[in-house]
Amino acid sequence: MNTTATAPAALQRSNWKKLAGNFLVRHIMVVVMLLIVGFFAYRSARFATPDNLTNILIAAAPFALIALGQTLVILTGGIDLSVGSVMAVSAMAAAWTAKNAGDNLLLPLVAAVAAGLFAGSINGFIVSQLGVPPFITTLGMLTLASGFAYVIGDGAPINGLPASFGLFANTQVLGLTLPVVLMIVAILGLAFVMKRTNYGLRVYAIGGNRLAAEIAGVRSRRILFSVYAISGLLAGLSGLMLASRVITGAPNLGQGYELDAIAAVVIGGASLMGGRGTVWGTAIGLLLIQTINNGLDLLLVPAYWQNVIKGVIIVAAVGVDVWAARRGRR
């Protein structure tokens, strides 16, 4: 028996197994995503159709923007609980403006972006300049923005908007709706910024060790202000998209979105302590959540059971990611 020939072959097989195992560990959430997609495709013939996949992307688009903003905030070690309410107040501001501005599309856009940016800037100023913990700051903004959303509509939704208001959500670009195109551009753009620019490196540095970053010359207050301002701006755009889809302004729009956004970021591998996470991970996390929502709807699972199942899947997915991260550090 030629042992000298079999030994290298066995070593090569061992190396291939190790490489395959490491690849699976690094991309564990992609594997989880594929398994969930496979399950829903098996259980429902309508799931894997082009129309349904388009529906998933359309539903994910507004959610993606606030998840991306939440990614920036969490990377610095903070959290933004106000994005759902900022979406609502921005949607109401856009709807009120559209109702009074006729077919002018620029004014509702400006109103939504301005409302979101203003709320985010207040959060950023309080956190970065006054040193108030992000949890307390954004919890206060959650209540404040929610109240203002009802004030704008006198406690009721704003209906009777011009049909042109629906163009924000229904305009087609290259066969895709405008919100989906904006989602793709935002993911690609922010991924580039976080990976290839000094701004992205500074965000990671602050989340990893703020004191060390400041000693190295990073102006942490400016960076902290900017991430909350960007989060608010993206929430404003998201609110406009949702209001445009239904051509109405609802003061409870975006309720609960902040929790799903945080879940998407954490599922994507980000640490709530800051300094670890990626835009691509968040993209996988938000698509996972939207896929679960869509699949459970197609299977006619009652809403109350959907929350239970989604919660279990989210906890399990995060648990798998934590296990993979620990295994990868060995």
d(CA 68, CA 183) in angstroms, rounded, equals: 10
DSSP codes joined into one string, 136-196: HHHHHHHHHHHHHHHHHTTTS-B----GGGGHHHH-EETTEEHHHHHHHHHHHHHHHHHHH
DSSP codes joined into one string, 194-263: HHHSHHHHHHHHHHH-HHHHHHTT--HHHHHHHHHHHHHHHHHHHHHHHHHHHTSB-TTTTTTHHHHHHH
Domain-wise residue ranges, the chain: 58-258+270-278
* Rg, C-alpha atoms of the chain: 22
For the stretch 67-103, pLDDT in tens is 999 999 999 989 999 999 999 999 999 999 998 877 7
Work out the pLDDT band at 16, boundaries 50, 70, 90.
low
What pLDDT, on the 0 to 100 scale, is given for residue 325? 62
* Surface-to-core class of residue 15, CB atoms within 10 Å of its CB (0-12 exposed, 13-18 middle, 19+ buried): exposed
Whether the predicted pLDDT of 25 surpasses 80? no
d(CA 260, CA 43) in angstroms, rounded, equals: 25
d(CA 265, CA 321) in angstroms, rounded, equals: 12
What pLDDT, on the 0 to 100 scale, is given for residue 104? 82
What pLDDT, on the 0 to 100 scale, is given for residue 321? 63
For the stretch 295-314, pLDDT in tens is 988 888 888 888 887 778 77
d(CA 317, CA 128) in angstroms, rounded, equals: 33
Tokens of 310: 């989604």
Whether the predicted pLDDT of 51 surpasses 60? yes
- H or E element, residue 325: helix 303-329
Tokens of 125: 């100023």
What pLDDT, on the 0 to 100 scale, is given for residue 165? 87
The phi, psi pair for 176, rounded to 5°, reads -120, 150
Angle at 243 between CA 169 and CA 178, to 5 degrees: 15
d(CA 108, CA 304) in angstroms, rounded, equals: 35
Work out the pLDDT band at 273, boundaries 50, 70, 90.
confident
Work out the pLDDT band at 33, boundaries 50, 70, 90.
confident
